A and B are shown apart, each in its own frame.
Chain A
Amino acid sequence: KAGVTQTPRYLIKTRGQQVTLSCSPISGHRSVSWYQQTPGQGLQFLFEYFSETQRNKGNFPGRFSGRQFSNSRSEMNVSTLELGDSALYLCASSLEGTGSGELFFGEGSRLTVL
Chain B
Amino acid sequence: AQSVTQLDSQVPVFEEAPVELRCNYSSSVSVYLFWYVQYPNQGLQLLLKYLSGSTLVKSINGFEAEFNKSQTSFHLRKPSVHISDTAEYFCAVRTAGNTPLVFGKGTRLSVIA
Q: Measuring CB to CB, which residues of chain A are less than 8 angstroms from any residue of chain B?
A: 4, 33, 35, 41-43, 45, 48, 50, 55-56, 58, 90, 92, 97-100, 102-108
Contacts and interface: CB of A to CB of B under 8 A. Distances in A.
A107 to B, nearest CB: 5
Interface of B: 32, 34, 36, 41-46, 49, 51, 90, 94-106
A22 to B, nearest CB: 15
Nearest to A45: B100
Contacts of B46: 102-104
Contacts of A92: 44
B105 to A, nearest CB: 4
B104 A33 contact: no
Given A41-B105, A42-B90, A42-B104, A56 B99 contact: yes
A58 B32 contact: no
A107 B45 CA distance: 10
A99 B43 contact: no
Contact of B98 (A42, A43, A56): A56
A48 to B, nearest CB: 6
Most buried by B among A90, A98, A108: A98
11 contacts: A4-B43, A33-B100, A42-B103, A43-B44, A43-B103, A99-B32, A100-B32, A102-B34, A103-B44, A103-B46, A105-B43
Q: Top 4 A-B pairs ranked by shortest CB distance? A: A42-B105, A105-B43, A43-B103, A105-B44
A23 to B, nearest CB: 11
A103 B101 contact: yes
A106 B43 contact: yes
A46 B1 CA distance: 16
A102 B33 CA distance: 10
A83 B103 CA distance: 24
A45 B51 contact: no
B106 A90 contact: no
